[in-house]
Amino acid sequence: MLDVCLLGTGGMMPLPKRYLTALLVRHNGKSILIDCGEATQVPLYQSSYSVKDIDHILFTHFHGDHTAGLPGLLMTMGNSMRTEDLHLWGGAGLERVVKGLTVICNHLPFKIVCHELPWKEQSVFQAGELMITAQPVKHSVPCLCYSLYLPRIGKFDVEKAKALDLPVIYWKHLQRGENVEFEGKTFTPEMVMGPTRRGLKVSYATDCRPSADIVKTVADSDLFVAEGLYGDEEKWQSAKEKGHMIYREAAQMALEANVGELWFTHYSPAMTNPHEFLDKAREIFSNAYCGSNLKEKTLRFKDEDESDA
């Protein structure tokens, strides 16, 4: 399963009741943070998640409302006596940006590892058990959207395992994807595992204009967290000129991408009531919701037994 927590929903600046947009995704006790604007650690401390469990931070782009919270978060991690490497992912220039942001973070007890991704072509990498796709998007500066996918192995076929005459104590290793050596023979997971099943997918796109590339990247996501800078149609031209989306555009992409659920985020400070425009968005995509501070959801694998029958 995947635990998802939207730490904040604001754009440009944190407000008293609206933290800056950041998303936390947790699997098996380890977390991935997407974006880290000013004061991101405040809602993090209000949540049930720990800063010590964050092993990866993904940056969509380098505007301050997505990066300026990094120094404080790093110092908090250091004070918690974290020693494991912290992996940072972002477009070309990430290392230079991180170097500037961390001037005040002296003597951290852990290593920061920067991974620079291309701004102009899609890239795929692994973080823990999650496969992550970084897709370039159109904004006022180079920017990426991310899709996180947790694969699911096939079902273990007991009858096939019995037919191999392999002792039961070795079965768990095959289930974990490991090869087994027994009596001079090599047994592989493919011998006992069924076809790969549908996994879980979370996608995140903010500070961007809608595009077919985004639709393709986020296709079939269980949860799509997308920018809705404005809900008001009259603000569309302003959003377009600044490289942003409004509710209607995010809802249309959610529909075309066949996602399970849509959360709006990255609201303009000028939009004081995001729910005011939700009904119009639901006319396009019915399973749309307004994101809010600490909005959470646990995604679980669907039981595919019936669909496989």
Q: Which residues are catalytic?
A: 65
* C-beta of residue 59 within 8 angstroms of C-beta of residue 67: yes
Show the 3-state SS of 128-192: CCEEEEEEEECCCCCEEEEEEEEEECCCECHHHHHHCCCCHHHHHHHHCCCCEEECCEEECHHHC
Token duo for residue 60: 């969509």
The CA–CA distances, whole Å, from 214 to 113, 220, 224, 228 equal 27, 12, 11, 15
* C-beta of residue 15 within 8 angstroms of C-beta of residue 272: no
Lateral strand order in the sheet of 54-58 = 112-117, 86-91, 54-58, 30-34, 22-27, 2-8, 295-299
Tell me the C-alpha distance between 233 and 277, whole Å.
9
Residues 6+ positions from 134 with CB-CB distance below 8 Å: 58, 89, 117, 122, 123, 124, 125, 144, 145, 146
Q: Nearest Cα to 281, choosing from 267, 264, 298, 297? A: 264
Token duo for residue 23: 């998303």
Residues in the chain: 309
